[in-house]
Amino acid sequence: MSKMLLFAGRPRALGERVASHLEIALTPLEITRFPGGEEKIQLGLSVSGCTVVFVHTTSGAENFVLSLQMMEAATRADAGKIVLVDPFMGYQRQEKTSKGKPRESVTARIVAESLQHFGLDRYFVVDPHNDGILSLFKNASPMYAGRLFVDWFRQQNYPNPVIVTPDAGGMPRALWYSDQLGVQFAQIQKRRDPGDGKLKVYNVVGDIGPENVAVIVDDVLSTGRTLLQAMDVLSAKRGVTRFIIIATHAELCGDAIERLNASGAERIVVTDTIEHPPERLAKMIGPGGKFVIIPIAEWIARAIRSLQKEGESVSKLSD
């Protein structure tokens, strides 16, 4: 394999931790921000003929454009191979049009095609919202964080756990956890309210009751309202009193941290795919915080090492 150069985009701290686990120095990457808000990047060393690896999220318009600038600069500088490790893919929940809205944009397709247009050769993505997203790339490798959560959960010794998916779309995830832990699973059912047209929780399917710990699993923790609704219906209809929430991407919009800390959940277990400022982090894991943050840098480093070993698949990291 050609010489590998590692660049840290955003979150910068994650890239630094990945480099530490790989025991290599980060290659300099200069990001300049102009008064009007535009940004430009410059690669700090020659990348000609090298395998260039960027650890960078495409979440948010600025970060997405920055990722395209990285691809374009590396391509024009004659990089041998360009790899993007994306801890949290931007616009991934827009991978298809909504029912009855055929003229909506499919923004995940824009992300995928734009990255490849500017030279992306290999794409690693942590817990994509939908596996259909992978078909938008010529060479995409999903990295499922479930194994990290399973390892954590086995150390806790919770009695009589049952895996719960808050919606039908999360059933494959729930089944995987159920198989790995050797426990039952349940599903929260929703239906569209004829009055306002919104999906609302109304029932529970599966064997779960007061003696069980409900382990609610999801990929993105945004406002937290869907998971709190799931807790309410489990409590009202099945008498469940103990709850654990597991979600890979802690997006935590608005006052989600406060809302979840005040909920009946005992623990909210997430990863550090999304960086939070110190004041929000203190609310998550400081006094009164219920969050547990599982680091992913070493796991990402192992995936990057797989690039250097012919024939080794990154999929075994998620098995």
Q: List Cβ neighbours of 203 (8 Å cut-off, separation of 6 or more).
A: 188, 189, 233, 237
* Secondary structure of residue 289 in the 3-state scheme: coil
CB atoms within 10 A of CB 83: 23
Residue 290: CA count within 13 A, CB half-sphere: 17
Catalytic residue among 3, 81, 138, 190: 190
- The span from the CA of 242 to the CA of 172, in Å, is 23
Encoded tokens for 197: 């047209």
190 is catalytic: yes
What is the widest separation between alpha-carbon atoms in the chain?
A: 62
For residue 120, give Cα distances in angstroms to 41, 45, 64, 187, 200: 17, 19, 13, 38, 40
C-alpha 61: how far from chain center: 17
CB burial of 148-187 (b: ≥16 within 10 Å; e: otherwise) equals: bbeeebeeeebeebbbbbbbeebeebbebbbebbebebbb
Active site positions, annotated? 190
